[in-house]
Chains A and B, each alone.
Chain A
């Protein structure tokens, strides 16, 4: 996947009019998260979670600022931050996650003889797809429908974590924090100088130059 917004970094605007003090404090805290610390999940659950996150949102290995998806999920569960509702078919989020990770490992053992994180990526995807389609059968799932967990909890929590991070914002060319300075040009094909410049075929240098000026 080639870069669509080469050289664009929302953090270049950290000290500009696009960020306010509260935003700086919040993002700094998020960036300071230790990607390896896990206070909610135990070591066994943790490796499975890492593997799941890597399949749901694959990240390039050589990324400068990888998103600590698992760490963000762990922090949310440890700090007991909820969404304000849960599907009646699911247990509360902490219990649901633990059961799902355990069941996923159990499915993996039953089908392939190894734990989930030890599988080939293709087989990991197969298992995840089976969850998504409701085709998992292991008794470890109990009365929790894997399909509902996958859609309403797993996908929801993982993408929320990923797209809460500046690296993800850079990837999609999102303008990022915007207060007090918002946006001026809102028409088709218009960007403010502090927005991401999209690369056009054969004009990568231009986009890179424009993105270097973002600030």
Chain B
């Protein structure tokens, strides 16, 4: 029942992330002329992940799906490998780990979106299982989502910094999501109804920002020389259109996690030892 709904929400998150990765890596690796054959991999894996996630959102059965589970594992591994590839691409250039290479070599954090798609998808499968596994899963997913949002903020900040924040709207994705991530993290550590409510608002705002971002980026493409008519240059060189929806995917995951954590408590104020309490002692 409820577990299914959250699972479907998480599949949706994973789908959004996978779609973002599919489109983004397709454009960016095309720009990179697929000079390394491995650059086809994220397209294939993201495509599979997208397909699996779409099926997952429609799947109402209360058990995990073996193939989907494997695909999500593959996505996580591919994303992690992508991070290594991108890191190597950055550091092998003259100047090594420099601002210039962070700006213009392979985007340092982009493969993490596929890793996150895999982790959230795995979460989706776990959440379908009987309730004893869901409590930890709720907190774990909130943490993954919060960390994912923070990572995305860092990547956004880097690229908007490259663009010199020439448009005031460019501060939105580095100011709203961090608040959402902080509140989500707080909710995971010390859940309470007020924290949960604030976290919800900011996560919804973040989700909306993900869509608004595509609009802003489309405006950015039109802003370059030749606008949309010069799409063969400006879609590649301009702000990445498929990137912002990762915020939406992560925010939806955060909302699902919140739902799971809140229902676990019910009316009881007592939590028992949370992960954060354990660390504090």
- Measured CB to CB, the residues of A under 8 A from B are 17, 179-185, 189-191, 193-194
- Residue of B31, B35, B229 touching A17 (CB-CB under 8 A): B229
Q: Nearest-CB distance from A117 to chain B (Å)?
A: 48
Chain B interface, number of residues (Cβ within 8 angstroms):
12
Residue B215 lies at the interface, judged by CB distance under 8 Å to chain A? no
The answer, yes or no, to whether B154 is at the interface (CB within 8 Å) is no
Interface CB pairs A-B, < 8 A, 19: A17-B229, A17-B232, A179-B225, A180-B229, A180-B230, A181-B226, A181-B232, A181-B233, A184-B31, A184-B233, A184-B236, A185-B31, A185-B32, A185-B33, A189-B35, A190-B33, A190-B35, A193-B232, A194-B232
Inter-chain contact B226/A180, CB cutoff 8 Å = yes
Taken together as a complex, chains A and B put the C-alpha atoms of A190 and B230 apart, in Å, by 20
Q: Is B237 an interface residue, CB under 8 A from the partner?
A: yes
Q: From residue A194, how far is it (CB to closest CB) to chain B in Å? A: 7
Q: Which residues of B contact A (CB under 8 A)?
A: 31-33, 35, 225-226, 229-230, 232-233, 236-237
- The reply to whether A180 and B225 contact each other, CB–CB distance below 8 Å, is yes
4 extra A-B contacts, CB within 8 A, seeds A17-B233, A184-B31, A190-B33: A180-B226, A182-B225, A182-B233, A184-B237
Measured between beta carbons, the chain A residues less than 8 angstroms from B33 are 185, 190-191
Q: Which residues of B contact A185 (CB under 8 A)?
A: 31-33
Q: Which residues of B contact A189 (CB under 8 A)?
A: 35
- CB-CB under 8 A from A179, the residues of chain B are 225
CA distance A78 to B225 in the complex (A): 38
Given the complex of chains A and B, what is the CA–CA distance between A150 and B271 in angstroms?
A: 93
Distance of B252 from chain A, by nearest CB (Å): 33
CB distance from B93 to the nearest CB of A (A): 9
Complex Cα spacing A182 to B233, Å: 7
The secondary structure that dominates the B interface is helix
- Note all chain A residues with C-beta closer than 8 A to B229: 17, 180
Q: Which residues of chain B are within 8 angstroms of A184 by Cβ–Cβ distance?
A: 31, 233, 236-237
A-side contacts of B230, CB under 8 Å? 17, 180-181
Inside 8 A of B35's CB, which chain A residues have their CB? 189-190
- Top 4 A-B residue pairs of the complex, sorted by shortest distance between their CB atoms: A180-B226, A180-B225, A17-B230, A184-B236
State the CA gap A194–B231 with chains docked (Å): 13
* Minimal beta-carbon separation of B94 from chain A (angstroms): 12
A184 to B32, CA, bound (A): 10
List residues of chain B with CB within 8 A of the CB of A183.
233
Complex Cα–Cα for A194 and B226 (A): 16
- How many whole Å from A210's CB to the nearest CB in chain B? 12
Complex: how many Å from CA A190 to CA B32? 8
Which residues of chain B have C-beta atoms less than 8 A from A194's C-beta? 232
A17 touching B226 in the complex, CB below 8 Å, given contacts A184-B31, A190-B35: yes
| Chain B residues in 8 Å Cβ range of A181 | 226, 230, 232-233
Question: Hey, which chain A residues are within 8 Å of B32, CB to CB?
Answer: 185
B88 to chain A, nearest CB (A): 15
Complex CA distance for A191 and B35, rounded to whole angstroms: 11
In the bound complex, how far is the Cα of B236 from the Cα of A184, in angstroms? 7
| Assembled-state Cα–Cα distance A16/B226 (Å) | 11
Q: Which residues of B contact A191 (CB under 8 A)?
A: 33
- List chain B residues, Cβ under 8 A from A190: 33, 35
Contacts of B236 in A (CB 8 A): 184
Residues of chain A with a CB closer than 8 A to B225's CB? 179-180, 182
Q: Which of A17, A179, A190, A191 has the most CB of B within 10 A?
A: A17
Chain A residues within an 8 Å CB radius of B31: 184-185
Interfacial chain A residues near B233, Cβ < 8 Å: 17, 181-184
Chain B residue nearest to A188 (CB atoms) is B35
Residues on A with C-beta less than 8 A from B226 are: 17, 180-181
**How near does chain A come to B136, taking the closest CB pair, in angstroms?**
46
Q: Which residue of A lies closest to B93 (CB)?
A: A187
**CB-nearest residue of chain B to A184:** B236
CA distance A183 to B236 in the complex (A): 10
In whole angstroms, what is the CA distance A184 to B226 when docked? 14
Write the chain A residue with the least CB distance to B233. A181
Complex CA–CA separation, A165 to B46 (angstroms) = 47
CB-CB nearest in chain B for A178: B233
* Cα separation A185 to B30 with both chains bound (whole Å): 10
Distance A181 CA – B31 CA, assembled complex (angstroms): 15
Q: In the assembled complex, which residues on chain B have CB atoms less than 8 Å from the CB atom of A180?
A: 225-226, 229-230
* Residue of B with least CB distance to A193: B232
Of all chain A residues, the one with the shortest Cβ separation from B231 is: A17
Output the least CB separation between B159 and chain A (Å): 17
